[in-house]
Every structure is written in structure tokens, then in C-alpha cells.
Amino acid sequence: MLHFDHIAIGCASLDQGAAYVFDRTDLNVPAGGEHPLMGTHNLLMSLGADTFLEVIAINPAAPSPTQNRWFGLDDANVQANLSDRAKPHSWILNSDNLVEDLAIAKSLGIDLGTPRTQTRGDLTWRFAVRTDGSIPLDGAAPMIMEWPTDMSAHPASGMTDMGARIKSINLDTRYDREVNKLLNTLGNGNIPIEVHDSPETKLTVTLTLQDGQDAVLD
């Protein structure tokens, strides 16, 4: 079973990503940490007890990883796309049983990768990454992860909460049938995303801010 976990804002640098989110929301996303295995780092902001927003970029101070980075960040086309400005880049779901859910996704024709143990500070989890690091279905597929079963609370509960909440997530993609089939097969029914048929992949996130105003990230 898959549950909604978080949204990742892709960017060429964390400064660029922070400026993008501030321009749309007037919020300064706090520092997160580093991912040694992937050579990336992030900013993090809670969107509720079990949901958050992540701004993620290649860490220029980290050694190059021995494998391709997640989120397709090593791909030249992805880098060119993010060089102009930051934007919502991926939606991440968490799994009750990562190995089983990945196998079911594969049976549906969607190879989401293999589980790899990741760390950030003292936090450890498993995240499915393809060998080439890409996000399947032309960037439209969700990334899938699994938090430790003995974790007392979701990590979002310990992140800075500035009152922003997800209002809606819209995914435009020519793979709408495949994504909807995956969600209908493995989703818990509460994944806040609407999938629409479109020739281009685009992720649009609308947040409701603490003052009641909406902010669109696209």
C-alpha cells in the first residue's frame, strides 16, 4: 500500500530553489541536510504531521557518487530544464512494503527501481532508485520509499512548520493511464493528486498558506 509522503522541488542549486519557493510563498524553507550516497542536499519544510516539502539539488561540495543520482539529477536534459528555474520535480509516496510494491509496479510495466538504503544525519530509510537514476514515465511516475517500521513519528513532525498545507496536486502526463492504474492498484485512496492527459509532463502544486491565501508552485 502506498501513501502520499512529500513533494520535491528540483533546482540547480539550493539558493535557486529557496528563492523560487520564497517568490511563490514568502516562506524561507529551512536547511535540511546531506545525502552522502547520492551527493545531494536539501531544504525541508513540514506540510503537516506526515507530509513535507523538499527542495533538492546536487551538492557541489560532496564527492561524486559511484552511481547515478536519484531524481534524474545527472541527466543533461534534467539539468538544462532546472537551470532556468526551480520547479516541482517529483512526488514521493511511502510504502508499507517496498519490495512487494515495487514488484507489483513492475508487473504493471513500471520499473521504479530497486531499494537502496539512504541516510541524512541520523535518519535512515529505503528509497527505490533505477540504475540510470531516472524518474520513469518521462518523469511522471512517483518515486517510492519506505520509512523504518520502528520510527515513532513521521520525520515531517520534527520539521519547521510554517503553516503551509497542500491544497491540490495536478500531474499532466501522456502516461495518465499508467499512473492512474498504479494508484488504483497500490494507492490508499488518500493520495492528493489528480492525473490529466497531456502531451507534456508537468507537476503543479497548490499550497494553502497560514493566512488562507493560495500559492501555486509550477
| The predicted structure's pLDDT at residue 33 | 95
Sign of CA dihedral 132, 14, 122, 159: negative
By the 8 A CB rule, do 176 and 197 touch?
yes
Q: What is the pLDDT of residue 188?
A: 85
Closest Cα partner for 10 from 21, 23, 22? 21
Instruction: Express each pLDDT in 85-117 by its tens digit.
Output: 999 999 999 999 999 999 999 999 999 999 999
> Which residue, 170, 147, 171, 174, is CA-closest to 51?
147
C-alpha cell read off for 95: 510504502
Sheet holding 214-217, edge to edge: 194-197, 165-173, 202-208, 214-217
Sites in the chain below the pLDDT cut of 70: none
| Predicted local distance difference test score (pLDDT) of residue 190 | 85
